[in-house]
Amino acid sequence: MFTSGVRVRERQRFWAQARREVRRGSVSLQPIAENLWLQHFPLSVLGTQHGRNVTVIRLSSGKVVVHSMAPFTAGDVEEIRALGPTGWLVEAMLLHDTYAKEGRAAFPGVNFLGPPGFESVVGFPVAPLNPAPAEWADELQVFPLEGAPKLEEQLVLHVPSRTLIVADLVFNFNPHEKGWDRFFHRYLAGFKRYPGMSRIFRLFVKDKERFLQSLRPVIAADFDRLVVGHGTLIETGAKQKLVEALRDAGYVLD
Residue 173 has pLDDT above 90, yes or no: no
DSSP secondary structure of the chain: -HHHHHHHHHHHHHHHHHHHHHHHTS-SSEEEETTEEEEEE--EETTEE--EEEEEEE-TTS-EEEES-----HHHHHHHHTTS-EEEEE--STT--TTHHHHHHHSTT-EEEE-TTHHHHHTS--EESSSPPGGGTTTEEEEE--S-TTT--EEEEETTTTEEE-SSS-BB--TT--HHHHHIIIIIS---SSSB--HHHHHH---HHHHHHHHHHHHHS---EEE-SSB--B-S-HHHHHHHHHHHTT----
* The predicted structure's pLDDT at residue 194: 85
pLDDT per residue over 32-78, tens digit each? 999 999 999 977 677 777 789 999 999 999 999 999 999 999 999 99
CATH number of the domain at 28-248, please? 3.60.15.10
Average pLDDT over residues 92-114: 96
Percent of the chain with pLDDT over 90: 74
User: Could you read off the pLDDT of 81-95 as tens digits, one per residue?
Assistant: 999 999 999 999 999
Question: Is it the case that residue 200 has pLDDT exceeding 50?
Answer: yes
